[in-house]
Structure 1
Amino acid sequence: MTTVSNESFQNLSQKNMSFEQVFDSIIQFMMQDTSGNYRLIFGTDSQVHAHYTLFITGIVIQCIGKGAWACIRKVTIPRKMTNLHERISYETTLTEEVVSLFTEERKKQLIDIVLPNIYQGATFTIEGHIDIGSGNRNKTKIFVNEMVARMESLGLEPKIKPEAFVASSYANRYTK
């Protein structure tokens, strides 16, 4: 039983955005500098609370050196999800869900914004940030290969801690 504030995205200035509004905001942000170096980044983090588990998926469009536009989507599971593999796997599933909204046609629209300027240095990459690490003391290291493979299967460039800032910092901020 999932309580998804379905397709409802928000950020500090806008609430209850549809995915279309999110996509339009990303286009508007990219149109401000069609020769920028863009990273479209997705990541999910979770926090187990007393009677529920809160999942936050972040979408960030970053123009390297020139700022970013971002929003989140909240999903609440009405139970304490204490199994670490289940929680990490569900975080990855929620990231995959949001990524799937970016169809090939939509990704092409974003690429077409920078395409005329690639010989002047414009770039566009898509990353999946996973809130796991491979360090010896990290309990999530046994899941790294599985979750990285899931991100790669979507055509995303996977990032784990410490590079996975959308999951481990941006989304994390909203799970508390």
Structure 2
Amino acid sequence: MKRTNLFSMHDDLTFHNVTERRLSLDDVIERMLRFISQDPASPYQLMIGTDSQVHRGHTKFVTGIIIRRPGKGAWACYRQVVLPRELTSVKEKLTIETSLSQEIACYFEGDAVNRMEELLLPYVYQGASLEAFIDIDAGTEPVVNKTSLYVQEMVDRVEAMGRYAARVKPDSYAASAYANRHTKRPASLVM
């Protein structure tokens, strides 16, 4: 029996941003370390979040990764994954979005985050810190957000990971603003 992939991975673990294309995960980590090393005495926020958009014949998921120096800029990139069908279930979309964010977050566990913390450690008494978030594209207001029924389940999943804090709308910038911006255009299903 032939197994089929749930996702048609578009560039699998390849990332892009406004100035660079086809970055590997190692490239992403190196760019983030370079950004931190420019000002290691500052606080930093590592944010990962996924949003999706249903297009004709497929659903496009975009996961954003942002390293932010509050008040002093950020470096960001995104990854695209295409599901070759139109999703209609809000819970299924939110579950897949959260899973894709968690997948990327797992790549940062261990070595990548440790390397970031090593850069910041000598400056901890000067204000250096690193907070890590998974931003969930869901809100808690039941009147406004169809996703409110599933927020607690997704937050619990993220917090069970340990290192990452979960954020929801309106604080989930990586998902609801950055990743959202890159979901609007239909994806090419041709690899």
What TM-score do you get using the length of structure 2 for normalisation? Answer: 0.90
Instruction: Report the equivalent of 2:7.
Output: 2
Instruction: Report the equivalent of 2:32.
Output: 26
Partner SS for 2:52: strand
Q: Work out the CA distance in 2 between the residues paired with 1:132 and 1:63.
A: 24
Q: 1:14 aligns with which of 17, 20, 31?
A: 20
2:165 matched to 1:157?
A: yes
Q: Work out the CA distance in 1 between the residues paired with 2:61 and 2:16.
A: 14
Cα offset, 1:121, TM superposition: 1.3
Q: Work out the CA distance in 1 between the residues paired with 2:141 and 2:45.
A: 25
Instruction: Report the equivalent of 1:103.
Output: 109
- Contact kept, 8 Å, 2:53 with 2:60, in 1: the verdict is yes
Q: Work out the CA distance in 2 between the residues paired with 1:80 and 1:48.
A: 6
Q: Work out the CA distance in 2 between the residues paired with 1:103 and 1:165.
A: 21
Cα offset, 1:63, TM superposition: 0.6
- Map 1:83-122 to 2 at 5 A: 83-122=89-128
Cα offset, 1:135, TM superposition: 0.6
Give the CA RMSD over aligned residues.
0.8
Q: Work out the CA distance in 2 between the residues paired with 1:121 and 1:8.
A: 33
Cα offset, 1:10, TM superposition: 0.5
User: Which structure 1 residue ranges, 5 or more long, are not aligned?
Assistant: none
Partner SS for 2:33: helix
2:154 matched to 1:147?
A: yes
2:66 matched to 1:66?
A: no
Partner SS for 1:128: strand
Cα offset, 1:107, TM superposition: 1.2
- Which aligned segments of 4 or more residues in structure 1 are displaced greater than 2 angstroms? none
What TM-score do you get using the length of structure 1 for normalisation? Answer: 0.98
User: Which structure 2 residue ranges, 5 or more long, are not aligned?
Assistant: 1-5, 185-191
Q: Work out the CA distance in 2 between the residues paired with 1:125 and 1:66.
A: 16
